[in-house]
């Protein structure tokens, strides 16, 4: 019997690789480098594949799918998002799509807490002062590099899914006073919201979220409705002592409005893991000139254990797709 | 009746200033600038003072105390440490000393968690990559900028006082597995250590702390015994995936040994709020060349609310000293 061909666009972690290599009746074609797979390599090797395992950076479009041929049964994506995959093209051919949405909750929630503290306590500004050799010339005074304390804060969540809830659980022992959240169904109580150990309320309007929060955490999906939902008006309503955190998708926040709000001291600071037009952020980007803004290169899920789990889950989804079995997480096309 | 003279070496926060100004029978002489008080100004005005309120940056030595004269009843220091005050000189004259050790626990514990996450998740390195304009040229791969996850970690505390315990409480919902601690009385169980929600054990040796911990948090006082307690041997015993956090005093850690451990990949990363010879850290300091090291300019207690509380407490201690009443926190000379 001919072995089924699978194409893997990356080197995988050791455990995930073993899981794949243990399946002896597969013909595995794998991109040999640590760097992203060349598109020409993918197109060359896709032909005849029954399964393809791709990363967020590999466009799995009509061309790739058509090149593979009619025997293609499954695309397994090592990612939460699936925008890089032509889902209608898969659906029309009855090709299954696997993805990895669940394993990164903890890693992203950890990073969210880190960004809250960095924004409040001026961590970026303080680090840069030391790196630039300014510490010896900073005369100590009681309010040097001080920022608001998290104890007693009202934390507002724009979107209240798994990651937001995991973040709230972590923030409770810091002594926060209250959590409020707004979802796509304003006022509807999220089932899982009970028992966080602080008063947690679903609120009815985005204005209330902006006005009442000392910390705003943006964790909603990017949709037509949420694009630029954090705009100049939202920022103008925020407290001068409040911070804005974005761990969702860049375009949920209007970057120009945020830059101007920071510039004018309308808000205290910002912590961002994502930004519009990433990764094309040059050193002269206006937001990088704001000392109270911490910008990270989208490393929310970049924890070793998480990425290992995502790799294993991708391989399991791939194998399940080949064998007609249930995936760990299958995308409903 | 002549008003009692008090000398205040700084501008205070509004609430603390009001507390002072409300006492009408005082002659308040206050340094007028936001910058540290000149020593010559302090010596000039100390003469005849019954009380002096000083900062960590003001040396309150024999000269100042003798200059003030025999009517001096109290020195109130706006600080936790009292090394800047000549305590024997006060004791021999029966002058009382107030300080502010309790109000900063939460602020420092918050910052400690931030440093743990920054060290594990490579926050400093990631921030600097973005600032330097490298993001557009960083090809994404599954293990780009990944670091160890806090979930499942054993957290080891060198010193287990108020701040360490407050830090542990905050770390529990991140899913840590176990806490271990070593105090100046190895093996002795700290009373307050019950009920953190994770197994918490007093261990018997510093070797065990170094070997078993995924996160080492240094929070012990600086003494002759603890100077360089984190040395090359300690660092060599640590796991390659472990991080070292110092929020205590710089000389508890041997900087050269730490630099070399990071350089050779003996440990994963470090998060420091303090360092030997601070604040004289120049831009070419060897540790600043280590991308996995986050160094902050001693901002542990730099939260607005905390510093306001410290200011109020200093004024209360000053007034209590003048009136022969109980201080909020009196240093036992």
CATH number of the domain bearing residue B52: 3.40.50.720
Q: What is the pLDDT of residue B36?
A: 87
| Chain A contact for B35 (CB, 8 A cutoff) | yes
Structure tokens at B114: 């931030």
CB contacts under 8 A, B 177-216 vs A, are none
CA angle B154, B157, B162 (to 5 degrees): 125
Query: Is B214 inside any structural domain?
Result: yes
The total domain count for chain B is 2
| Chain A contact for B16 (CB, 8 A cutoff) | no
On whether both A49 and A140 belong to a single domain, the answer is no
On whether both B240 and B219 belong to a single domain, the answer is yes
On whether both B319 and B256 belong to a single domain, the answer is no
On whether both B89 and B144 belong to a single domain, the answer is no
On whether both B314 and B197 belong to a single domain, the answer is no
Q: Quick check: is A141 catalytic?
A: no
Query: Is A207 inside any structural domain?
Result: yes
| Chain B contact for A119 (CB, 8 A cutoff) | no
Q: Report the pLDDT averaged over residues B121-140.
A: 95
CB contacts under 8 A, A 149-168 vs B, are 149-152
On whether both A119 and A203 belong to a single domain, the answer is yes
| Chain A contact for B283 (CB, 8 A cutoff) | yes
What confidence tens digit (pLDDT) does each residue in B217-245 have? 999 989 999 999 999 999 999 999 999 99
What confidence tens digit (pLDDT) does each residue in B260-271 have? 999 999 999 999
Query: Is A24 inside any structural domain?
Result: yes
What confidence tens digit (pLDDT) does each residue in A276-332 have? 999 999 999 999 999 999 999 999 999 999 999 999 999 999 999 999 999 999 999
Q: Do B78 and A142 touch (CB under 8 A)?
A: yes
On whether both A118 and A95 belong to a single domain, the answer is no
Comparing CA positions, the residue from B333, B321, B332 lying closest to residue B73 is B321
Query: Is A333 inside any structural domain?
Result: no
On whether both A260 and A176 belong to a single domain, the answer is yes
Structure tokens at B113: 């968690």
Query: Is A75 inside any structural domain?
Result: yes
On whether both A194 and A277 belong to a single domain, the answer is yes
The answer for residues whose C-beta is within 8 angstroms of residue A275's C-beta and 6 or more apart is A246, A250, A253, A255, A281, A287, A295
Q: Report the pLDDT averaged over residues B299-304.
A: 95
The interface predicted TM-score of the complex, written ipTM, equals: 0.91
| Chain B contact for A111 (CB, 8 A cutoff) | yes
Structure tokens at A241: 């002592």
Q: How confident is the model at residue B140 (pLDDT cuts 50, 70, 90)?
A: confident
Containing domain of residue A237, as a range? 105-295
What confidence tens digit (pLDDT) does each residue in A223-263 have? 999 999 999 999 999 999 999 999 999 999 999 999 999 99
Query: Is A138 inside any structural domain?
Result: yes
On whether both A266 and A201 belong to a single domain, the answer is yes
Checking DSSP bridges between strand B200-202 and strand A215-218, what pairing results, if any?
Answer: unpaired
Query: Is A332 inside any structural domain?
Result: no
Query: Is A314 inside any structural domain?
Result: yes
Q: Smallest Cβ distance to A302: which of B55, B146, B295?
A: B146
Rg of chain B taking only CA atoms, in angstroms: 23
Which residues of chain A form beta strands (DSSP E)?
4-8, 26-30, 51-55, 74-78, 96-98, 154-158, 178-182, 200-202, 215-218, 243-246, 269-272, 293-295
On whether both B272 and B123 belong to a single domain, the answer is yes
Task: Encode burial over B65-94: b for 16+ CB neighbours within 10 A, e otherwise.
Answer: bebbeeebbbbbbbbbebeebbbebbeeee
Q: Smallest Cβ distance to A136: which of B78, B129, B280?
A: B280
On whether both A128 and A37 belong to a single domain, the answer is no
């Amino acid at each position: 019997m001919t072995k089924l061909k699978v194409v893997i666009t990356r080197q995988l972690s050791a455990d995930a690789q073993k899981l794949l290599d243990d399946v002896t009746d597969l013909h595995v074609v794998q991109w040999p480098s640590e760097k992203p797979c060349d598109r020409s390599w993918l197109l060359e090797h896709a032909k005849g594949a029954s399964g393809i395992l791709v990363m967020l950076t590999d466009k799995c479009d009509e061309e790739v799918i058509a090149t593979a041929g009619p025997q293609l049964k499954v695309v397994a994506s090592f990612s939460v998002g699936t925008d890089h995959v032509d889902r209608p093209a898969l659906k029309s051919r009855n090709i299954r799509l696997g993805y990895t949405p669940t394993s990164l909750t903890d890693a992203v929630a950890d990073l969210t807490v880190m960004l809250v503290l960095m924004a409040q306590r001026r961590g970026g500004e303080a680090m840069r002062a030391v790196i630039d050799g300014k510490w010896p010339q900073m005369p100590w005074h009681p309010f040097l590099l001080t920022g608001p304390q998290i104890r007693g804060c009202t934390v507002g969540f724009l979107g209240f899914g798994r990651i937001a809830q995991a973040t709230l659980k972590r923030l409770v022992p810091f002594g926060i006073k209250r959590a409020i959240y707004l979802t796509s169904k304003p006022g509807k109580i999220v089932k899982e919201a009970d028992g966080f150990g602080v008063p947690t309320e679903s609120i009815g309007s985005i204005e209330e979220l902006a006005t009442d929060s000392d910390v705003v955490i943006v964790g909603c999906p990017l949709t037509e409705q949420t694009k630029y939902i954090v705009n100049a008006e939202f920022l103008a309503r925020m407290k001068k002592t409040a911070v804005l955190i974005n761990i969702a998708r860049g375009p949920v926040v209007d970057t120009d409005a945020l830059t101007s709000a920071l510039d004018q001291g309308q808000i205290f600071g910002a912590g961002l893991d994502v930004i519009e037009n990433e990764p094309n952020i040059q050193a002269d980007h206006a937001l990088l000139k704001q000392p109270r803004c911490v910008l990270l290169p989208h490393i929310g899920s970049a924890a070793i254990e998480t990425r290992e789990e995502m790799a294993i889950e991708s391989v399991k989804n791939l194998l399940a797709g080949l064998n007609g079995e249930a995936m760990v997480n299958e995308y409903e096309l």
